């Protein structure tokens, strides 16, 4: 009898990474391996937008060490995603963003690399990845 | 290469903006005002990674403006960043560079002789 074998979900994102309160402190090598990011949800509904803090910036880098997050010696993010405070924003990446070293991220309230101010309210980040 | 923007008459509130070969030259106020960003597609025909940078601003300067979005696209890759529901903006200024850091003003290293181009398509509303 013929046999076959399949690896379940081999071509699909099969990991969910959740950071309940992303801030300027980098979360490093979240999956512990290489992979691709297919979806990022930034839930900033815990706060309310203000003139001083209309949104936050989720910054991602393909690195598994030496990631310093925000600050004057901050790492240079490879991907920056803006999300308004008070809203839930989703980015879907068809084809996936491949990270060949490690998936690391942090969140701050300003766009510059040196931005070091964490969002005032919790910003929950959920990532669908491999 | 300049952006070409297509509207759908008065039937749909969406616009499609296409640039067949984006460079580090900033296109300012792409949508002629405010709107919402729904999708960014990057087709990188280049043999190096490219970083598409977008500022929520009437104008920007490549190499000094801190972009509100940085969308990477791998060498010879195609990525579509879709934003269901969209994100409101006051204005969009768009450019691309070879490196991620906002201070970079290096044009994507497309090989003209090899017809390498970096095409970008934005859907806005």
pLDDT in tens, A82-130: 999 999 999 999 989 999 999 999 999 999 999 999 999 999 999 999 9
- By Cβ distance, the residue of A80, A89, A110 closest to B83 is A89
Q: Is residue A32 part of a domain?
A: yes
- By Cβ distance, the residue of B56, B72, B83 closest to A97 is B72
pLDDT in tens, A37-68: 999 999 999 999 999 999 999 999 999 999 98
Residue A43 backbone dihedrals phi, psi, to 5 degrees: -100, 100
Q: Is residue A124 part of a domain?
A: yes
Q: Contact B80/A90, CB-based, under 8 Å?
A: no
The dihedral built from the CA positions of residue B69, A55, B3 and B24, taken in this order, carries a sign that is negative
CATH number at residue A26: 2.60.120
- What pLDDT, on a 0 to 100 scale, did the predictor assign at position A3? 63
Reported ipTM: the value is 0.93
Q: How confident is the model at residue A70 (pLDDT cuts 50, 70, 90)?
A: confident
Q: Contact A93/B101, CB-based, under 8 Å?
A: no
Give the CA angle between residues A24, A27, A28 to the nearest 5°. Answer: 130
CATH number at residue B56: 2.60.120
- What pLDDT, on a 0 to 100 scale, did the predictor assign at position A121? 96
Q: How confident is the model at residue A13 (pLDDT cuts 50, 70, 90)?
A: confident
- What pLDDT, on a 0 to 100 scale, did the predictor assign at position B9? 74
- In angstroms and rounded to an integer, the radius of gyration of the C-alpha atoms of chain A is 16
Mutate to test the interface with A, among B72, B98, B102 (most CBs of A within 10 A): B72
- What pLDDT, on a 0 to 100 scale, did the predictor assign at position B10? 74
Q: Which residues of chain B have pLDDT under 70?
A: 1, 110-115
Q: Is residue A54 part of a domain?
A: yes
A56: containing domain: 15-129
- What pLDDT, on a 0 to 100 scale, did the predictor assign at position A88? 98
Q: Is residue A9 part of a domain?
A: no
Domain count, chain B: 1
- What pLDDT, on a 0 to 100 scale, did the predictor assign at position A14? 83
Q: Is residue A50 part of a domain?
A: yes
Mutate to test the interface with B, among A54, A85, A95, A127 (most CBs of B within 10 A): A95
Domain count, chain A: 1
Instruction: State how far the Cα of A38 lies from the Cα of B81, in Å rounded to an integer.
Output: 9
Q: B5-30: buried (b, 16+ CB within 10 Å) or exposed (e) per residue?
A: eeeeeeeeebbbbbbebbbbebbbbb
Q: Is residue A2 part of a domain?
A: no
B16: containing domain: 4-124
Longest dimension (CA), chain A: 69
Q: Is residue A3 part of a domain?
A: no
The predicted model scores a pTM of 0.92
Integer CA distances (angstroms), A75 to A24, A69, B62, in order: 11, 6, 20
DSSP secondary structure string, chain B?
---EEEE-TTT-S-EEEEESS--SS-B-STTSS-EEEEEEEEEE-SSS-EEEEEESSS---TTTS--SEEEEE-TT-EEEEEEEEEEEES--EEEEESSSSTT--PPP---GGGT--EEEEEEE-
């Amino acid at each position: 009898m013929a046999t076959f074998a399949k690896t379940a979900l081999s071509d699909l994102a099969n990991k969910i990474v959740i950071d309940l309160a992303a801030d300027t402190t980098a979360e490093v090598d979240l999956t512990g391996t290489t992979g691709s990011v297919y979806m990022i949800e930034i839930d900033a509904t815990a706060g309310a937008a203000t003139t001083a803090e209309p949104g936050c910036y989720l910054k991602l880098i393909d690195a598994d060490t030496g990631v310093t997050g925000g600050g004057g010696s901050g790492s240079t993010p490879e991907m920056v995603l803006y999300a308004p405070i008070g809203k839930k924003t989703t980015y879907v990446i068809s084809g996936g963003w491949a990270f060949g070293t490690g998936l690391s991220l942090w969140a701050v309230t300003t766009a510059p690399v040196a931005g070091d101010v964490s969002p005032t309210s919790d910003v929950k980040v959920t990532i669908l990845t491999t | 290469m300049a952006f070409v923007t297509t509207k759908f008459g008065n039937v749909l509130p969406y616009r499609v903006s296409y640039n067949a070969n984006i460079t580090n030259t900033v296109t300012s106020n792409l949508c002629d005002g405010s709107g919402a960003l729904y999708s960014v597609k990057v087709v990188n025909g280049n043999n190096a990674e490219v970083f598409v940078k977008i500022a929520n601003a009437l104008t920007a300067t490549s190499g000094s403006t801190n972009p509100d979005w940085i969308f990477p696209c791998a060498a010879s890759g195609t990525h579509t960043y879709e934003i269901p529901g969209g994100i409101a903006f006051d204005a969009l200024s768009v450019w691309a560079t070879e490196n991620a850091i906002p201070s970079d003003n290096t044009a994507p290293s497309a090989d003209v002789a090899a017809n390498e181009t970096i095409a970008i398509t934005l859907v806005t509303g």
